[in-house]
Amino acid sequence: MVETVLFENERVLDRSAVADYLRSLADSLDEGSDVTLSAGEQSVTLAPPSQVEFEVKAEREGPAEGNGELSIEVELEWPEHATDDELSID
């Protein structure tokens, strides 16, 4: 399977700015509208169907002994050409 990155942006933000970003994403999902991700010249608009596969994961990366890096990852996934009538995620 080939993975193509459509949008990627990584930057340091304070917790409040991250919460605002996630709230904006949540509002778009709740309203059933398209989701646009943009930063600088880069932009992509996606149209998630009414049901998506949702994954949240907490990870620790690094050596078993010593300091590592902690992360929270949130992922929404759906078939590319799915419509609400035919979507089924098992």
1 and 33 belong to one structural domain: yes
pLDDT in single tens digits along all 90 residues of the chain: 899 999 999 999 999 999 999 999 999 999 999 999 999 999 999 999 999 999 999 999 999 888 999 999 999 999 998 777 655 544
**Same domain membership, residue 32 and residue 72:** no
Task: Indicate if 36 and 54 belong to the same structural domain.
Answer: no
66 shares a domain with 31: no
Look at the chain and report how many structural domains it folds into: 2
DSSP letter, residue 19: H
Q: In this structure, what token pair is assigned to residue 5?
A: 């990155």
**Same domain? 42 vs 65:** no
Same domain as 1, residue 42: yes
**Helix H segments across the chain?**
15-31
State the pTM of this model.
0.81
Q: Which pLDDT score is estimated for 2?
A: 92
CA 79/CA 34 separation, integer angstroms: 16
Q: Judge if 43 and 4 occupy the same domain.
A: yes
The domain of 9 spans 1-47
CB-based contact 59:71 (threshold 8 Å): yes
- Give me the pLDDT at residue 89, please: 47
Identify the sign of the CA torsion 60, 5, 40, 28: negative
